[in-house]
A and B are shown apart, each in its own frame.
Chain A
Amino acid sequence: MAAVNPAISDIHADEHDHKPHGFLHRWLFTTNHKDIGTLYLVFSLTAFFIGGSFAMLIRAELFQPGLQLMQPEFFNQLTTMHGLIMIFGAIMPAFVGLANWMIPMMIGAPDMALPRMNNWSFWILPFAFLLLVMEVFLPGGGPQGGWTMYPPLALEGGANVAFMIFAIHLMGISSIMGAINIIATILNMRAPGMDLLKMPVFVWSWLITAFLLIMVMPVLAGAVTMLLTDKFFGTSFFHAAGGGDPVMFQHIFWFFGHPEVYIMILPAFGIISEIIPTFSRKPLFGYQAMVYSLASIAFLSCIVWAHHMFAVGMPLGGELFFMYGTMLIGIPTGVKVFNWVSTMWKGSITFETPMLFAIAFVVLFTIGGFSGVMCAIVPADFQYQDTYFVVAHFHYVLVTGALFGIMAAVYYWLPKWSGNMYSEKWGKIHFWSSVISVNVLFFPQHFVGLAGMPRRIPDYNVAFADFNMMSSIGGFWFGLSQFIFLGVIIHCVYYSRQRATAQVWEGARGLEWTLPSPAPYHSFSTPPVITDDMLAHGNVTH
Chain B
Amino acid sequence: MMELAWNEDELRFRDEVRAFLDANLTDEIRAAGLLMTSVYADHERSLEWQRILHARGWAAPAWPTEYGGAGWSVTQRYIFSRERVAAGAPPVSPMGIQMCGPAIIGHGTPEQKAYFLPRMLSGEHFWCQGYSEPGAGSDLASLQMRAEDDGDHLICSGQKIWNTHADIANWGFFLVRTGKYDRPQKGITFLLIDMATPGVTVRPIISPSGEHIQNEIFLDEVRVPKSNVVGTIDDGWTVAKYLLEFERGGVAYAPELQVRLDAIEAAARQVPGDGTGTLREDAAFSRRVAEARIAISELEIYEFRAMSAEAEGKSPGASASIMKIRGTELQQLLTELGLIVAGRYGFAYQPQAGRPGGPVQFPHGDDVNGPDFAAIAPLRYLNERAGTIYAGSNEIQRNILAKLLGL
- Decide whether A and B are members of one complex: no
